[in-house]
Amino acid sequence: MSDIVLSASNLSKHFVGKQSLIGKLRGKEPLSVPAVDGVDLSMPAGSTIGLVGESGCGKSTLGRTLVGLYPSSGGSLSLFDRQIGNDRSLEERRAVQMIFQDPYSSLNPRMKVGDMLEEILLFHKLADKESVQKRCVELMELVGLPVTALQAYPRQFSGGQRQRIGIARALALEPKILIADEAVSALDVSVQASIVNLLQDLKRDLGLTMLFISHNIAIVRQVSDRIAVMYLGRIVEEGLTSEVFNNPQHPYTKLLLGSVPKMTPGSKLGAAPQGELPTIQARYEGCRFQSRCPIATSACATTDPALIQIGSKDHQAACINL
Amino acid sequence: MSTPLLSVRDLHVEIDTSRGLLKAIRGVSLDVNAGDSLGIVGESGSGKSITLKAILGLLPKNARVTSGEIHVDGVDLATLSEKARRALLSEKIGIVFQDAIAALNPVMRIGVQIAEVPHRRLGWSKEKSHARAIELMELVGIPEAEKRFSLYPHQLSGGLRQRVAIAIALSGNPQLIFCDEPTTALDVTIQAQVLRLLMELRVKERTGLVFVTHDLAVVNEICDEINVMYAGRFVESGSVANTFQRPSHPYTYSLLKSAPDVDHQSERLFSISGETADLTKPVTGCPFAPRCFATTQLCSENEPALLAQASSFSACHHASNFTEKIPAGHFSQGTQGKARS
């Protein structure tokens, strides 16, 4: 079956620390931080997957590993049923593009928007000298900016407009998959809504598949067809958005959703997980969530839970007490 | 009725900018009593934080209060000397800012920072202040307080730093806490813990809260009253329950429509088009008119005053009937499942 455009299987990304000479001589293992540690994720064509979790859980690292900004340290990735390694071809790189959180620092301040887009288009041979101008104009129209924006520098735009430029930059490469890493987190509520709507429209019109990474669970709910919940480098629950929100299974998902402030009148915050996300360790005994889990048993200290199917629905969670 | 803890009347603030004189606050009035919880919401640049800073006398050098009265516990701040004013403010009001790491002294142990106010200002002994600091650390939920007393801010996580900042705000037993986006930089789980802590303080100690945020859902969770700010003025003030159910200003209505709600999934979010008003230029008419769906000739001529409506105060010429003016399809697709109007 090939309606899965991008899939990760047991994907991991370990950051290995520098080692001192003495450490080397003593034969010590260098410090290794498994930011992404055995993630299985499939992205069905045309869908939006929302990736949520606390800061430090590995969401952004996973996104960057999928785009190819970080080489993976284990597991495999396939794009349209073809395995891709850490050396990606130009075409493979074009297929997966990223929208960054900070529209201020992700654009070159000394380059006019038009020059920036031209450079990308010409380098990737997506346009020639004659057609490049026309393509730039098309891109501006696509993201809802005036054509005059091409002659301006990034500093001349507001946050929302800069994020539109960031989206135009990603779309210039005609990607199949967009990874939006906290793309609207730095924006005001009303601007946030317009960028979210733009992404939704583009996804529909251009047939894109999207991974929407955010700590803002309310926004994720609006845009996603599926939700993946991440905790300490692992995905602990994944499924259809309505399923995960209406029927959360993993104790972490329940606590995470319970701690989101709500708009319902008279709402009272539910119980939040105690403590904070622990620092990622090199190795774990048993379940990673046991230290904060309200339903942990002695078996949790020894068994590392795998994602298992919940009922007959399109929904899976990694907990042995379900 | 007793004197309010804080009473602000017709506050005006101007800021000198490179683009000219910016009228950042154009007449803000508010009252806070013991145990009140007041939310101030608005977009960036609406003047939320400047309002707090003006009350506290913490305005940047290029900004100044041009008119208005501020009474703290019945005392007019304008009648006090600089020293007396500072003493009164620091006794009555605790402050929690968004960025805890910037608010803490990086080269001072956190316990010492918390004990500083009881020791220096309240004149407590070292031992008593130390014990008070430990007590406060436990109150705000810092585990192993005794052990953490001698840590430095950089050794703590974001959530713990914000708790230290709250502990410092509480250390002088203030009757009022100003919170400027205190949870914006935190994860939802930690945010929930901090919000719960603030709610408990309000109930236990009858501390008044003034909570500045752009997150409507947070206001809904912890505030009783809401003030919606736009272009340096309150455009709607009322109880959270009433305002969220029946907003009486088109801006509030639009904000509520554009806020994603975790309880509902909608196809499309509503977005408010256009930009906020440029306050370096004189305001003629309603500053929200260029972005408003219910605007008429009257709106471009007269700036509406904040007047009592059925369920709240609203600064809109069409407060009672603006919902009838919503063009068909204006909030299309974004309204399913959201029975708010």
Contacts of B221 in chain A (CB under 8 A): 261-262, 267-269
DSSP string computed for B172-201:
T--SEEEEESTTTTS-HHHHHHHHHHHHHH
Tell whether B218 lies on the interface with A, counting CB pairs under 8 A: yes
Distance of CA B53 to the CA centre of its chain: 11
Tell me whether A155 touches chain B (CB under 8 Å): no
Q: What is the ipTM score, two decimals?
A: 0.81
HSE of A149, CA atoms in CB hemisphere, 13 A: 26
User: DSSP secondary-structure letter at B108?
Assistant: S
Q: What is the pLDDT of residue B335?
A: 35
Please give the C-alpha separations between residue B303 and each of A292, B26, B30, B292, B297, in angstroms, as whole numbers.
Answer: 54, 12, 20, 14, 12
If one counts every other C-beta atom within 10 angstroms of the C-beta of residue A147, the result is 12
- Tell me which of B144, B187, B197, B267 to substitute to probe the interface with A (most A C-beta atoms closer than 10 Å): B187
Dist CA B256 CA B253 (whole Å):
5
Q: Which of A103-107, A167-171, A286-290 has the lowest mean pLDDT?
A: A103-107
Specify whether the CB–CB gap between B109 and B133 falls below 8 A.
no
Nearest CB to A263 within list B159, B263, B271: B263
Calculate ∠ Cα B20-B24-B30, nearest 5°.
160
Task: Give the pLDDT band (50/70/90) at residue A174.
Answer: very high
Which of B188, B214, B217 lies at the smallest CB-CB distance from A263? B217
Q: What is the DSSP letter of A55?
A: T
Asked if A197 and B268 come within 8 Å (Cβ–Cβ), the reply is yes
As given in the structure block, the two tokens for residue B32 are 């806070």
Question: Is A151 or B158 the better-scoring residue by pLDDT?
Answer: A151
Q: Tell me, yes or no, if B192 comes closer than 8 A to chain A by beta carbon.
A: yes
What is the model's pLDDT at position A190? 79
Strands A4-16 and A74-79: antiparallel
Q: Give the residue among B307, B276, B308 at the shortest CA–CA distance from B24.
A: B276
- The mean per-residue pLDDT over the stretch A121-141 comes to 93
Taking Cα atoms as reference points, which of A219, A151, A166 lies closest to residue A188? A219
The rounded Cα A178 to chain-centroid distance in angstroms is 9
What is the rounded distance in angstroms from the CA atom of residue A76 to the CA atom of residue A61?
A: 15
Residues 6+ away with beta carbon under 8 Å from A21: none
Mean pLDDT of A115-136: 93
Contact assessment for residue A34 and residue A12, using Cβ atoms and an 8 Å cutoff: yes
pLDDT digits (tens, 9 = 90+) for A8-45: 999 999 998 887 888 888 887 788 888 999 999 999 99
pTM (global) more than 0.95: no
Region A99-109: what's the mean pLDDT? 84
Q: What is the residue-averaged pLDDT of chain A?
A: 90
CB pairs under 8 A between A and B: 133
Q: In this predicted structure, what is the pLDDT of residue B333?
A: 42
Query: What's the pLDDT score for residue B336?
Result: 34
The pLDDT assigned to B265 comes to 76
| B111 and B134 Cβ atoms separated by less than 8 Å | yes
Burial class (CB in 10 A: 0-12, 13-18, 19+), B59: middle
Using an 8 Å CB-CB cutoff, list chain A residues near B261. 218, 262-264
Tell me the pairing of strands A226-231 and A234-240. Answer: antiparallel
Instruction: Give the integer Cα–Cα distance in Å for A65 and A213.
Output: 13
> CB of A244 within 8 A of CB of A311?
no
Q: Mutate which of A164, A184, A188 to disrupt the B interface (most B C-beta within 10 Å)?
A: A188
Q: Could you say which of B196, B215, B262 has the minimum Cβ distance to residue A217?
A: B262
Mention every residue, 6+ apart, whose C-beta is less than 8 A from residue A228: A41, A49, A50, A51, A52, A235, A237, A238
User: Rounded mean pLDDT of A288-293?
Assistant: 90
Element (H, E) at B128: helix B126-139
Instruction: Specify which residues A211 forms β-bridges with.
Output: A49, A179
A46: left (phi over 0), alpha (psi -120 to 50) or beta: left
Cα A65 to Cα A68: distance, rounded to the nearest angstrom: 5
Q: Is the pLDDT of residue A3 over 80?
A: yes
The C-alpha angle with vertex B81 and arms to B78 and B86, in degrees rounded to 5, equals 90
State whether residue A188 sits within 8 Å of chain B by CB. yes
What are the chain A neighbours of B195 within 8 Å (beta carbons)? 261, 269
User: Is the per-residue pLDDT at A1 higher than 90?
Assistant: no
DSSP annotation string for A115-131 = HHHHHHHHHTTSS-TTT
Cβ–Cβ below 8 Å for B254 and A190: yes
Find the closest chain B residue to A195 by CA distance: B271
Q: Which residues pair with B312 in a beta bridge?
A: B238
Q: pLDDT tens digits, chain B, 341 residues: what are they?
A: 578 999 999 999 999 999 899 999 999 999 999 989 999 999 888 999 999 999 999 999 999 999 999 999 999 999 999 999 998 998 899 999 888 778 899 999 999 999 998 888 888 899 999 999 999 898 887 888 888 999 999 988 877 888 899 899 988 889 999 999 888 777 888 888 888 888 888 888 889 999 999 889 999 999 999 999 999 999 999 999 999 999 999 999 999 988 888 887 777 788 888 888 888 888 889 999 999 988 899 999 999 999 998 889 999 999 888 888 787 777 654 433 333 32
Helix ranges (DSSP H) in A143-250: 159-171, 189-206, 217-223, 241-246
